[in-house]
Amino acid sequence: MSIKVRYFASLKENIGRSEDNLEFVADLATVDDVWRYANPDKALPNNCLAAVNMDYVDLNSAVKDGDEVAFFPPVTGG
């Protein structure tokens, strides 16, 4: 399985990278699994948004080979 993971805004700064390419990982079934595998020492911040292939999803959404998973911090406006 191959999944591209992208991080935006303050998540990118806190993690120290803008993306990961996860290759040959067979046990990733959900968006939450992707986060935990890519960031084993960091909890996903509260209220983060996630997208699979540019569609917003919840953390229990399924992922498959070739997907792009993106994580966004909560957005506020003013």
76: pLDDT strictly greater than 90: no
Number of domains forming the structure of the chain = 1
Does residue 42 belong to any structural domain of this protein? yes
Does residue 77 belong to any structural domain of this protein? no
Q: What pLDDT does residue 29 have?
A: 94
- The model's pTM is 0.91
- Between CA 29 and CA 34 the distance in angstroms is 8
Does residue 55 belong to any structural domain of this protein? yes
Q: Find the CATH number of the domain harbouring 60.
A: 3.10.20.30
Angle value at C-alpha 53, between 42 and 31, nearest 5 degrees: 35
Reported as a single tens digit per residue, the pLDDT across 9-65 is 999 999 999 999 999 888 889 999 999 999 999 999 888 999 999 999 999 999 999
